[in-house]
């Protein structure tokens, strides 16, 4: 028996079985949270990262179609390739599926770790969550990771075991079709554990603060505060985060209110 040939075949099989993991965010290619994700994902498979060249927070599901976008490579080493893109988080998903995963889809898409919570209604506005949503649209297991700590220099390394554990379980055990996960971490290093939760009902009470620049020209700055409509709901992401748990909220692409179809039948003509 030629053990050299056998070893080569075993290595080839091992490499073929390595998972393909795509990583992105909305805080930009240099964000600390992104680097934490990359470090954990490389333990699970081969990592391709494409992230916005600059911050794209609050871009939700925006895409770029009136201007061209360009890629710049940042890392090229065994198991990890990373690029920045002059576009949105959803653009990053779209160009990855078109240019890098032409033959088969990635096994997992992860987005984040966002500097700032994306619990409750914030999931609608978030570019981080939108990237995972785009993955869900393509029926690829996808997870958005965010932290209540919004500080730019926040240390997210204590989230690493949870990032790895949640991602590994999704890779091995799967996820329902066209569902993606919105994971949020509390602002503490002493996390009590993880809880699957529902998205708290709430809304941002917003106002535009009027200011003037040095030339006495008027401008406005968006401010506001979050209003939780169910502060006592112990199975909501907002309540659990305040109690020190990491929350895992399953979201789905299909948003039709099936209960209203029959109630609105009077609109049929």
> Token match 């002493």: residue?
190
pLDDT-derived band at 12, boundaries 50, 70, 90: very low
pLDDT at 200: 97
Beta carbons of 26 and 131 less than 8 angstroms apart: yes
The mean pLDDT value of the chain amounts to 93
Strands of 78-174, DSSP E: 80-85, 108-115, 142-147
Beta carbons of 133 and 170 less than 8 angstroms apart: no
pLDDT at 250: 98
pLDDT at 16: 55
Average pLDDT over residues 178-182: 98
pLDDT at 15: 45
pLDDT at 153: 85
46-62 residue pLDDT tens: 999 999 999 999 999 99
pLDDT-derived band at 6, boundaries 50, 70, 90: very low
| pTM of this structure | 0.91
pLDDT at 17: 77
pLDDT at 152: 81
pLDDT at residue 123 above 80? yes
The radius of gyration of the chain from alpha carbons, rounded to an integer in Å, stands at 21
Strands of the chain, DSSP E: 19-24, 45-52, 71-77, 80-85, 108-115, 142-147, 179-185, 194-196, 202-212, 218-228, 246-252
The CA distance from 51 to 269, in Å, is: 47
247-269 residue pLDDT tens: 999 999 988 999 999 999 999 99
Complete domains list, the chain, with CATH:
3-200+232-255 (3.40.1210.10)
Return the minimum-mean-pLDDT range out of 151-155, 169-173, 191-195. Answer: 151-155
């Amino acid at each position: 028996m030629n053990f050299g040939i056998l070893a080569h075949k075993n290595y080839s099989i091992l490499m073929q079985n390595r998972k393909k993991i795509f990583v992105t965010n909305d805080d930009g290619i240099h964000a600390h949270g992104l680097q934490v994700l990359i470090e954990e994902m490389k333990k699970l498979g081969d990592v391709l990262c494409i992230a916005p060249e600059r911050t794209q927070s609050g871009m939700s599901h925006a895409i770029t179609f009136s201007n061209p976008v360009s890629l710049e490579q940042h890392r090229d080493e065994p198991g990890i390739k990373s690029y920045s893109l002059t576009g949105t988080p959803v653009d990053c998903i779209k160009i990855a599926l078109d240019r890098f995963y032409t033959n088969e889809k990635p096994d997992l898409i992860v987005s984040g770790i966002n500097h700032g919570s994306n619990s409750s209604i914030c999931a609608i506005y978030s570019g981080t969550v939108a990237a995972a949503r785009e993955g869900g649209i393509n029926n690829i297991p996808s997870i958005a990771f965010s932290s209540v700590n919004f500080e730019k220099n926040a240390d997210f390394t204590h989230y690493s075991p949870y990032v790895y554990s949640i991602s590994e379980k999704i890779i091995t055990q799967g996820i329902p079709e066209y569902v993606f996960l919105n994971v949020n971490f509390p602002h503490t290093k002493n996390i009590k554990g993880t809880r699957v939760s529902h998205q708290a009902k709430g809304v941002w009470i917003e106002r535009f603060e009027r200011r003037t620049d040095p030339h006495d020209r008027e401008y406005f700055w968006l401010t506001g505060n979050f209003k939780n409509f169910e502060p006592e709901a112990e199975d909501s992401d907002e309540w659990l985060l305040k109690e020190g748990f990491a929350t895992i909220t399953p979201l789905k692409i299909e948003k039709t209110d099936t209960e209203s179809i029959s109630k609105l039948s009077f609109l049929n003509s």
